[in-house]
Amino acid sequence: MKSDREPATTIVARASAPGLGGVGVIRISGSDTKAIATALLGKIPENRFATKSSFFDDSGNALDHGLALFFLGPASYTGEDTLELHCHGSPVVLDQVLKRVLELGAELARPGEFTERAFLNGKLDLAQAESVADLINSQTQAAAKFALRSLSGIFSKEIDELSRRIETVRVLVEATIDFSDEPVDDLSVDTLRLHITEISEKIRKILDRSRPGLLLSQGATIVIAGPPNAGKSSLLNAFAGSEKAIVSPHAGTTRDLIEAHIDLGGIPVHMVDTAGLRASDDDIEAEGVRRARETIDAADLVLCVLDDSDPASSRFELHLETGRTAKQITVFNKSDLSGRLIGDISDGINAAVAVSAKNGTGIKQLTEAIRTALGFQGDDEDLILARRRHLNVLEQALGLMDSASALDEPELVAEELRLAHRLLGEITGVFSTEDLLGEIFSSFCIGK
């Protein structure tokens, strides 16, 4: 939740990562920044120039020597007067300097408060502010790339354009209501529905580009499942590039969940190897099977691994064991033994890939099949790094547009359009609540 702190309060926090380092950064922002700079440095540094400075305590003794950068508001990250102190990276030194700034009247910043002030002061919209956190937390080059695109405002511009199109149609509809006895631009039911259909199609396209982007920011959970001794652990090791799981010719070796975090073609993936799915009188193995099924039910994608050299294994059907109907790829492993041609063997309905996890062949084709199953196509240059709340808003807006398209009464259509217009404003922060802002910015790191 947001606090009741006055916007004029000057805040301070360490902006660099905890621990030892060559350089540690302390950030200060607010109306008292100039006064703090004068007391701490003996002067206000020149605007936007790195200045070699000593940082003094209340007795005039140097706490440290480093660089000071002053940014005169509103031309700063937060829109306020801002000071950055680049100290030596000793936690002791940083604590001393931070303590001195607090003595001079600053207050410790809450998580995300610097970026929150940038949003409140009009330096960033809400979607851009969220992309700051996404960029910091990005786990792959692709995630960082698309977070930077959102930070530049590309996503926000598309939402703004969509909002303007809805607003234009709202004006036309409301004009027919307010001036029903006077001549206005003709807006037939068919024309109105055409406008709404075009907007709905635009929302769908943004959703299609955003759903894979959600996985880039949050990561995807991929579960490796199937019968015992099909080579599931070997497949995990092939993807991880290391011996994460014990590989044995004996069935039932894997009893617990074995996890690896990998970069799968730019997608941050949490991959989980599970116990072989079979009935067992062994309490430990049975518990492993229970955990496997529980993990399968929560996965974004399941790789059902079969032993292609064993006819009994090849007849195994995962959905009969779990009742799960979500995305699944059948992986025919040990194809080096069966003689099956390595690579994509999908039939147009069911995704399937033949591999040899032991030899590492077919892994590239399986990676491409996984990317496709998760919604990634081609070079994905048009993807949007979205958050779950963005998708929820877009899906609700699409539902309102579909509802409006089915209505004949202008008053009802106008209300659906008004609600959709307001919803889209929640993405960029045109319309926002204190609770929403508190939830978003509390997830940021302190100092950002």
**How do residues 196-238 score in pLDDT, each as one tens digit?**
999 999 999 999 888 888 888 888 899 988 888 888 888 988 8
Angle among Cα 139, 141, 145 to the nearest 5 degrees reads 110
Q: How far apart are CA 411 and CA 416, in angstroms?
A: 9
Predicted pLDDT of residue 443: 73
Would you give the DSSP letter of residue 3? Answer: -
Q: Supply 66's token pair.
A: 């480093």
102 contacts 114 by C-beta, under 8 angstroms: no
Would you give the DSSP letter of residue 409? Answer: -
Name the region of 246 (left: φ>0; alpha: ψ -120 to 50; beta: rest).
beta
Element (H, E) at 75: none
Q: Does pLDDT of 178 surpass 90?
A: no
Predicted pLDDT of residue 6: 64
Q: What domains lie within the chain, and their CATH numbers? A: 11-125 (3.30.1360.120), 126-429 (3.40.50.300)
Higher pLDDT, 118 or 253: 118
Q: What is the distance of C-alpha 405 from the center of its chain?
A: 32
User: Strand (E) positions, 265-418?
Assistant: 267-273, 301-307, 328-333, 343-344, 351-354
Quick one: which of 83, 93, 95, 86 has its CA closest to 38? 83
**How do residues 78-122 score in pLDDT, each as one tens digit?**
999 999 999 999 999 999 999 999 999 999 999 889 999 999 999
Number of Cβ within a 10 Å radius of residue 284? 12
Number of Cβ within a 10 Å radius of residue 195? 20
**How do residues 314-359 score in pLDDT, each as one tens digit?**
667 665 444 555 688 999 999 989 888 998 888 878 889 999 988 9
Higher pLDDT, 293 or 249: 293
Q: Does pLDDT of 3 surpass 50?
A: no
Q: How far apart are CA 224 and CA 233, in angstroms?
A: 8
431 contacts 226 by C-beta, under 8 angstroms: no
**How do residues 363-374 score in pLDDT, each as one tens digit?**
999 999 998 888
User: Of the given ranges (40-49, 255-264, 319-328, 378-387), which has the lowest mean pLDDT?
Assistant: 319-328
Give the global pTM. 0.75
Predicted pLDDT of residue 217: 82
